[in-house]
Amino acid sequence: MYINSAYLNRSLVDFKDKSRPLIVGSCGTYHLYTRPKLPTHRPRGRRDFQILYIASGKAHFYFDKSDKDTVVTAGHIVIYRPKEPQRYVYYGTEQTEVYWVHFTGGNVTNILRFYGITDDMRVISTGASFEYTRIFKQMIQELQRCQTHYPDLLTLLLLQLLIQIHRQIGRDHHKKDAYLETEMELAIQFFNDNYNTDISIEEYAASRGMSVSWFIRNFKQYAHTTPMQYLVERRMTNAQMLLETTNYNVSEIGNLVGYDNPLYFSRIFRRQKGMSPTEYRKQGAEGL
């Protein structure tokens, strides 16, 4: 299991603070792939607000103290409010990847309403976009480094996240093309499940009875990235995780994420991350 998290003042204790309109208290990510399951149960909830973004796989939520689970798939967020009971489970077999942020403040409810998140909303369709993961990763980094004015930047990043969610909610208010949405969700699930294989975008589109140009255009509109960019980002994200958490060599990691040629894998990794896999691993080791 991969975990990366950060806490304000390095305290894991949840808190309520109304001194400013919006304050980020903690944020992080979980990627379950070896551990059988990861349950969370807070019968009395927390003192702050929480947003969870399902980036891949799925998660099982139990609302209103029910024993029946609500399955939330990739491309959705779940929001919990203060003192609301929390119970949810991630399973390793479902390759769940989740990003989360806890926040408080003196004007949170009104801010959420302003950005279209009404008091009755729990599960919101956001679409699967790396824009969300980018924002979460930057929040984690800012809270870990604690550089000058980092609390202000964290607030701005959270507002940016809320703006992205609001835009998606606005799109959802228009009449949806059920066929289009289903096809894009199926494509994303297929890419998540098979990212480390030799996927042909042309063959996939043909297998679903779509032209390549139509598929790429609509996938980009839905996921805010092209199918190939989505695959590359998924491969690079998992390569980063393997570099950080395993002793596999670069060639083995390249093969595990779908690249038979280690030189090509290293070139793609450098293009995406600004350094070679070896340099990335060394930098991580030096930071320990």
- The SS3 call for residue 234 is helix
In tens, the pLDDT along 46-73 reads 999 999 999 999 999 999 888 999 999 9
Model confidence at 74: pLDDT above 80 = yes
- Buried b / exposed e over 132-152, threshold 16 CB at 10 Å, is bbebbbebbebbbeeeeebee
Task: Give the percent of the chain with pLDDT over 90.
Answer: 76
Q: Which ranges in 104-200 belong to alpha helices (H)?
A: 108-114, 130-145, 150-172, 178-194
Per-residue model confidence (pLDDT) at position 173: 52
| Amino acid 260: pLDDT | 92
With bands split at pLDDT 50, 70 and 90, how would you rate the model's confidence at 287? Answer: low
pTM tops 0.75: no
**What is residue 58's predicted lDDT score, i.e. its pLDDT?**
92
What distances in angstroms separate CA 183 from CA 180, 188, 222, one per listed residue? 5, 9, 10
Cα pseudo-dihedral 211, 180, 57, 153, rounded to 10: 100
| Torsion angles phi and psi, residue 124, rounded to 5 | -125, 130
Tens digit of each residue's pLDDT (9 = 90 or more) over 98-152: 999 999 999 999 999 999 999 989 999 988 888 899 999 999 999 999 999 999 9
- Token digits of residue 157: 């990043």
* Tokens linked to 244: 């950080």
Mean pLDDT of 11-18: 93
Domains and CATH numbers, the chain: 2-172 (2.60.120.280), 178-286 (1.10.10.60)
- Here the tokens at position 202 are 């042309």
